[in-house]
A and B are shown apart, each in its own frame.
Chain A
């Protein structure tokens, strides 16, 4: 009996050892690759954020990363970390008012959608939107990145509802068009815009303490 028990113990130990060694080896390889590429990934992430903030505020962002970073340096400033404060305040390209840019996250079909939502600091109307991160299906949900979809939000007044009419380009300031075949994505975008809008009111009040009450008529 004894020889059998001995070999069965080694039988049970060897596989566990094998898998552990293999796991450790592979985790080391992956960790090395991750650590080596981390600075590059971080820089990409920051650039995406800056580009989205500028686009949401209405700027035509140059393709070259260094030019984009220069534009960000000169026209935008990061605001405080307080939850009611915007993420960044960006000068309007036309020079009229400041754009308050909030980062907000909504729920898409394949994961969270993160967007930069810009509001006019004068009257709280939507000034633009740009997407920082999402996992939506290319050709369907991912079309929220297209300029034709994003353009519709300029001037609208949240809270928004998805337009139920078949025609596109609704001029109703409280309605937005969804995307065909991407209902969940469209709902996620609507929800994140409405949530961002709730954060605008206190931000405007604190940014322009002498703003007349009639502008904030809600």
Chain B
């Protein structure tokens, strides 16, 4: 198939059929802890999209152009997480200098991103599945978008039920987990769609 369609097929799969949160269960902590409101979830999701879109290809370059030629693949975990931490730190500094509004809506989430398993997980999968650079761009962008989609859906549901009375002990984490379970069940339905790659 032509390269544009192939890129899009992988992108589509990364958002839906292989959603990094609901299929590979990565990025749960902020998903469950910080998803009460749509506004904050949007900020968090946008930050994840931004960081994942750039760090995954950057890690590809580091892995295939530096670690592999030197035979240092076993250090990839440390190198990846360092790049992610450095990148988020850098972006936070830049945003802080450039725009107060942007910092208020996006910048405060950046420290949380470093420990988001989804970001590191995306890089690890990129290596395990031997993606090309082009495929990595599709996967990084799609993965982040998929994560944002999931957290927005979760926030929407939680906002809806915010005024409802829940059994004692179920507020907060409890109900979020049940919602997540139902969403995960729904997303397993996507596995029937075979992607042409």
Q: Which residues of A contact B (CB under 8 A)?
A: 23, 26-27, 30-31, 34, 107, 109-112, 135, 181, 183-184, 187
Q: How far is the CB of A4 from chain B (nearest CB, A)?
A: 18
Report yes or no: A31 in contact with B82, Cβ–Cβ below 8 A.
no
- The verdict on B74 contacting chain A, using a C-beta distance below 8 Å, is yes
Report yes or no: A183 in contact with B24, Cβ–Cβ below 8 A.
no
Report yes or no: B125 in contact with A111, Cβ–Cβ below 8 A.
yes
CB contact between A112 and one of B82, B128, B188 (< 8 Å): that residue: B128
Cβ contacts under 8 Å, B18 to chain A: 184
Counted as pairs of residues, one from A and one from B, with CB atoms less than 8 Å apart, the total is 30
Cβ contacts under 8 Å, B132 to chain A: none
- How far, in whole Å, are A62 and B78 apart by their CA atoms in the complex? 39
12 A–B pairs (Cβ distance < 8 Å), ordered by A = A23-B82, A27-B75, A107-B129, A109-B23, A109-B24, A111-B128, A111-B129, A112-B130, A181-B188, A183-B192, A184-B191, A187-B194
Report yes or no: B128 in contact with A135, Cβ–Cβ below 8 A.
yes
List B71-126 residues whose CB lies under 8 Å from chain A: 72, 74-75, 78, 82, 125
- How far, in whole Å, are A66 and B78 apart by their CA atoms in the complex? 36
List B166-194 residues whose CB lies under 8 Å from chain A: 188, 191-192, 194
Size class of the B contact interface (CB-based, 8 Å): 10 to 19
- How far, in whole Å, are A27 and B76 apart by their CA atoms in the complex? 11
Q: How far is the CB of A15 from chain B (nearest CB, A)?
A: 10
Report yes or no: B130 in contact with A31, Cβ–Cβ below 8 A.
no
Cβ contacts under 8 Å, A109 to chain B: 23-24
- How far, in whole Å, are A31 and B76 apart by their CA atoms in the complex? 12
Report yes or no: B23 in contact with A27, Cβ–Cβ below 8 A.
no
Q: Told that A30-B75, A109-B23, A111-B125 touch, could you supply 16 new A-B pairs with CB distance under 8 A?
A: A23-B78, A26-B78, A27-B75, A31-B75, A34-B74, A107-B129, A109-B24, A110-B24, A110-B128, A111-B128, A111-B129, A112-B129, A112-B130, A135-B128, A181-B188, A187-B194
Cβ contacts under 8 Å, B188 to chain A: 181
- How far, in whole Å, are A184 and B197 apart by their CA atoms in the complex? 13
